[in-house]
Amino acid sequence: MTRYRIALIPGDGIGAEVLPPAEALLDAVGRRHGIEFAYDSCDWSCERYLAEGAMVPDDGLDRIRHHDAVLLGAVGWPGVPDHVSPWGLLIPIRRTFQQYVNLRPVKALAGVPSPLRSAGAGGVDLVVVRGNVEGEYSEIGGRLGRGTADELAVQEAVITRKGVTRVVEYAYAVAGSIGVAPAADLDPEREFPSMFEPVHGSAPDIAGRGEADPLGAIWSAAMMLDHLGHPDASAELLAAAFGALADGVSAADLGGTADTAGYTRAVPTGWAPRPAWAHERRSRTFGHWSPPPTGAAAGVRPGRHG
């Protein structure tokens, strides 16, 4: 049995709705591959910022720097300016942990109506590799005369040869490879945990309705499995997640009728996700993690693939 400690950062809005399906499916596919995940859930969010004045506790990043990976939902919420929430959480993680590659695969999926549909499954397979810590993220600059009519802001986009070279080299290394999935913030040196997150934000317009499409989070979780050295489990999870689409089940954003729980149930992993997840309010305090029930206690049932 291989065990991993995963730092979970649900964040804001639908971030907290799309991670439980990803967790449940990770657990299910992990059981088939001898992999066990222990999750430490961090309450880092705009809610925390409003209550305590900081998105992340002072020693927050130190508490997760030895985890095997970070799984993040989304960050940002009305009432907290968008320059505060990412700069207080997302960007410090990416920078501190040297996640200098941002990886976002693109695929045409069976069962999803799209202008690219005529290309057929596999006909579109793109990966975007973007530099993640330089350029606009350099944080070189500042403000003069803050709050006055003469206020001046200067921001420099700094790009170094070293920074470009390492990202370009990474891009060449992954070009043409299949099976890598959407948003990952990678430290290819593996000195720090890498982070896996759906590209989307917290979707305040639909948050709380149970309608969010969990596929981005599930796909990100599959990327995490691959990064941790489990390409078979990753491919199985991905195929299962896409299988639901091919079976004609999709969430509203893809024109379907499935809600978050319904889509998750339609993913044929061989084990259904814990039925209680949708209503579970796990401890959101870091370090107070209790393992999810397993086996009969969780009400698992054999799925279509036995």
Q: Which residue's C-beta sits nearest to ligand NAI?
A: 76
Question: E strands within the chain?
Answer: 2-11, 35-41, 69-74, 101-107, 125-131, 135-144, 152-158, 184-186, 194-196
Tell me how far apart the alpha carbons of residues 267 and 169 are, in angstroms, rounded to a whole number: 35
Least Å distance between CB 291 and ligand NAI?
27
Q: Cβ of residue 219: shortest distance to Mg ion, in angstroms?
A: 12
The reply to whether 105 sits near ligand NAI by the rule CB under 6 A is no
From 23-31, 71-79, 101-109, 224-232, span contacting ligand NAI (CB under 6 A): 71-79
In terms of CB distance, is 17 or 68 closer to ligand NAI?
17
| Least gap, CB of 146 to Mg ion (angstroms) | 30
Question: Is residue 56 at the binding interface for ligand NAI, with CB under 6 A as the rule?
Answer: no
3 state DSSP class of 184: strand
* Closest CB 144 distance from ligand NAI, rounded Å: 26
**Binding site partner of 216, from Mg ion, ligand NAI, none, Cβ cut-off 5-8 A by kind:** ligand NAI
Q: Which residues from 61-80 bind Mg ion, rule CB under 5 A?
A: 74
| Structural tokens at position 95 | 């920078």
Name which position in 52, 62, 82, 136 contacts ligand NAI (CB under 6 A): 82
C-beta neighbour count of 199 within 10 angstroms? 12
Which position among 23, 187, 197, 236 is part of the footprint of Mg ion (CB under 5 A)?
A: 197
Residues 164, 144: Cα–Cα separation, whole Å? 30
HSE-up (13 A, CA, CB side) for residue 225: 32
Which CA distances in Å does 160 have to 28, 167, 190, 302? 43, 11, 21, 53
Do the strands 2-11 and 69-74 form a parallel or antiparallel pair, or are they unpaired? parallel
Please report whether residue 88 would count as binding ligand NAI according to CB under 6 A: no
Tokens of 242: 């896409």
C-alpha Rg value of the chain to the nearest Å: 20
Which of 89/300 has CB closer to ligand NAI? 89
Residues 11-30 that bind ligand NAI (CB under 6 A): 14, 18
68 binds, among Mg ion, ligand NAI, none (CB under 5 to 8 A by kind): none
Work out the number of other CB atoms within 10 angstroms of the CB of residue 103. 25
Which member of 68, 213, 226, 236 binds ligand NAI (CB under 6 A)? Answer: 213
- CA separation for the pair 174, 179 (Å, rounded): 10
Task: Tell which one of 45, 202, 264, 269 touches ligand NAI (CB under 6 A).
Answer: 202
Using CB under 6 A as the criterion, which residues of the chain lie in contact with ligand NAI when the complex forms? 14, 18, 74-77, 82, 85, 90, 197, 200-206, 212-213, 216, 251, 253
Using CB under 5 A as the criterion, which residues of the chain lie in contact with Mg ion when the complex forms? 74, 197
